[in-house]
Chain A
Amino acid sequence: MGLEFTTGRLADTVSWARKYSLFQYPFVTACCGMEFMAVWGPRFDIARFGAEFPRFSPRQADLLMVVGTITERQAPILKRIYEQICEPKWVVSFGVCASSGGFYQNYSVTPGIDLVIPVDVYIPGCPPTPEQILDALVMLQKKIQDRDTWSQRNYEIQEWTKKQAEGTLAKR
């Protein structure tokens, strides 16, 4: 073996580690949950992507899966859950109801959870198939690796602003 070391940026390595150990908080409110459970099972096996372990406390999770319809009454609860998750955190909007309100165009349903919290990946479908969920997970992993999610970009802006104020911004 000639290869004894590789070089890379620390941020890339950290992102690489993060994307293969997603701890999800399933915020399951509706029938989409059935498809979501199927993904956990042996047939589709979300464990292959390192994201199989649900944490039932938002403080231990970093991926918020919003699965199902969010009503206006529930929106403050969802926002609070989101705020309890430690940075860096990611949100997947699962199914049309969470993404846009779906066919519930009425007084009670929030027309898209992105009116309440920022969303990284949307999954269409009513309900989405397990393959779509895995596809979304891979998309999210790519975004995490690219540091292109809301949470990571927000962090980098804060760092950039801080360094600019200190005058320690690296020249390119």
Chain B
Amino acid sequence: MSQEVLQKLQQHLGENVLEVHDHRGDETATIEAKTLHDTCRWLKKTAGLEFDMLVDLTVVDYLEQGRTPRFEVVYHLYSIAQKHRLRLKVGIETDTPEVDTVSDLWRNANWCEREAWDLYGISFRNHPELRRILLYEEFEGHPLRKDYPKAKRQPLVRRPREEFEAVVRGSGIGNKRTLI
């Protein structure tokens, strides 16, 4: 059933479908980023397809595989009416990690895209409120990118242990033997 969806998608988009993959029901299509929003609208509105639910929206960073484009945004779609699934992939360039928002089509994409912005720094064009959702505003960088240093911490408050010890041991008193 979902293979029909892939065929329809290929007929509709022609050469804008870069790659399709189909193995035991995980129908996947990689498409051109510039056609993303129109394609999503078409997938949602066309009778017989009716992808009315965005199950998940994630990003993959292929830095270590050395792939170009480096980022890939993945959309997991499901049709409650037709009971079929489709996975859409869009490659994103490194220097301008930007893609159209789909939050006007699926409301939950709003938060998913904010999360993608927060952790991967993918910017979504025309998003109503693109700001961090999980991390704090003071955080610099996007920690799930593969070039983010693993050991880097960005604390909001920190009182080092030495300071506590200075409070109590600084004067050389305060342990049990020198109680008042």
Contact = CB atoms under 8 A, between A and B. Distances in A.
Contacts of B161: 114-115
Given A73-B135, A153-B174, A110 B155 contact: yes
A136 B112 CA distance: 42
B171 interface: yes
A68 to B, nearest CB: 17
Interface string B147-165: 0101111111111110010
Contacts of A161: 171
Interface residues of B, dominant DSSP = loop
A128 B94 CA distance: 45
B176 A76 contact: no
Interface in B83-138: 135-136
Which of B157, B161, B167 has most chain A Cβ within 10 Å? Answer: B157
A106 B150 contact: yes
Contacts of A105: 151
Contacts of A75: 155-158
Interface in A133-168: 146-148, 150, 153-154, 156-157, 159-161, 163
Contacts of B150: 106
A60 interface: no
Given A73-B136, A146-B176, A108 B157 contact: no
A132 B17 CA distance: 59
A118 B163 CA distance: 10
A157 B174 contact: yes
B173 interface: yes
Contact of B168 (A73, A116, A153, A163): A153
Interface of A: 11, 72-73, 75-76, 79, 105-108, 110-111, 114-118, 146-148, 150, 153-154, 156-157, 159-161, 163, 169-170
27 contacts: A72-B155, A72-B156, A73-B135, A73-B156, A75-B158, A79-B157, A106-B143, A108-B135, A111-B153, A115-B158, A115-B160, A116-B157, A116-B159, A147-B176, A150-B167, A150-B168, A153-B175, A154-B167, A156-B174, A156-B180, A157-B167, A157-B171, A157-B173, A157-B174, A159-B180, A160-B173, A169-B180
